[in-house]
Amino acid sequence: MFRKNKNNTLCSMPTELVEHIAKFLDLLDDNQSSLCNFRLTCMDLYEKMLHHFGHTVLHTVYTDFSFSNIRKLIRLSEDVYLREFVHCLSLVQRPTKQMGNGFAWIRDTSGKLDMDSLGPQWLLRALRLFPNCRSFVVQLNYAGECPSRIIFGPTDGITVLLDVIAKAGISVKSFGAHSQPGISSFAFSNLDPHHIDLSILDNPAFKKAWEHVEQLEFDHNLIPERIAEWVFRLIVHAPRLKILEMGFDYAVQAQSVISRLANGPVPELEELTLRHAMELKWRELQPILQASRRTLRVLKLQQIQLSKGSWVDVLMTLREFPALEEISLAWLSTDPAKVLNFPTIRDALAGLTMTRPIQLGAKHCRGVRKNVMAAYQGPLMSETLDTLLASARED
């Protein structure tokens, strides 16, 4: 790297202009290699790009819990300047590498991991030094292998993360467990019930760390009941929860989670997304919505089958939500042959003046093309709901 490059006019530009130019490199290169090469041109640019580099490249750091990767995390955590930029730790499975490679993952006879072994201790050492790392994401793809044959997998990663969070006293802001973006929904986006540790949820240190959570996302299997219980307890242990997103993988255990939430203390949410669920009962979904009646701003319901209820009743209930400003509905049914649709809505919209129109989507349902998707974001929510109700049919 050159110390100075007098022939490069970029070096004489103010830092703000250099960072603005670098934003175009971010758009051209998903893995930020162009940005890294740009910084290495000379020491002037290296120093001027440091702040932008930190916010762009280091905001989310990725780990597969391997020996070499955790060692890099430790080095990063020991850099008193760069460690400030790390806000999120994402656990991913590398396509050609076994997760946790290089560590000896010790289990007792029940299959429970030894948290005093080297891998968890090294991760604890690193996370204690990241002052702003309060968000955690686990991507649940198993690289095409059978999860039961994996020595250390994403479910083990979750167990280690939650234990380390408790020991480090991290005030968690957000947590998510879902399949890797771009991966097929059939790519083993499952949790292993044998490696889910429910006992950590009773740890007072964990509860204290988890009570700061504002956002949760779950999109994975809920079979067997043990996993549904795990999801429910993580939700109720987060009294400050504002954003909840749940995908149920079309499992009937979705009803188990909803039933538990309907009868338990539900936080006042600002955003709620539910998708891929079967046989949800309206009498149990209703109290969950009503618990956030004053605060709910965003509601997204996608590919859900409602049992013993009507989606028209849901729309009528939403008229009582004063803060609601965004709604998204897609493929909502009451049985395999009946789907919520809006056959005359285009005629109704022709007579309305809306700066932000209702977005519609049509699909073939049993050979008939129907408007089964509707979305709106804006200040005229009351008028939007009235328009949807006037056109709503379930057939």
List the structure tokens of 270: 């600002």
Residue 273 has pLDDT above 90, yes or no: yes
Report the DSSP beta bridge partners of residue 307.
281
CA 265 centroid distance within chain: 22
Q: How high is the pLDDT of residue 268?
A: 93
Concatenated DSSP letters of 110-140: T--B-TTSHHHHHHHHHHTT-TT--EEEEE-
- Once rounded to an integer, what is the mean pLDDT over residues 87-105? 87
Q: How high is the pLDDT of residue 299?
A: 97
Instruction: Parse the chain into domains and list their residue ranges.
Output: 9-295+307-319, 320-395
pLDDT in tens, 164-194: 999 999 999 999 998 765 444 444 457 888 8
- Best mean pLDDT range from 26-40, 41-55, 93-107, 293-307: 293-307
pLDDT in tens, 27-85: 445 555 666 666 666 676 666 677 777 778 889 999 999 999 999 999 999 999 899 99
The pTM score is 0.87
**What CA–CA distance (Å, rounded) separates 250 from 161?**
27
Contacts for 360 with CB less than 8 Å, ≥ 6 apart: 342, 345, 346, 371, 373, 374
- Once rounded to an integer, what is the mean pLDDT over residues 300-313? 91
Q: How many CB atoms lie within 10 A of CB 382?
A: 13
**What CA–CA distance (Å, rounded) separates 330 from 130?**
40
Q: How high is the pLDDT of residue 142?
A: 53
Q: How high is the pLDDT of residue 128?
A: 96
Does residue 176 sit in helix, strand or coil? strand
More confident position, 230 or 357: 230
Smallest Cα–Cα separation from 388: which of 324, 337, 336, 335?
Answer: 324
pLDDT in tens, 309-353: 899 999 999 999 999 999 999 999 988 778 999 988 877 776 666
- Once rounded to an integer, what is the mean pLDDT over residues 92-99? 79
Contact 297, 323 (CB under 8 A): yes
Q: How high is the pLDDT of residue 19?
A: 65
pLDDT band at 112 (very low <50, low <70, confident <90, very high): confident
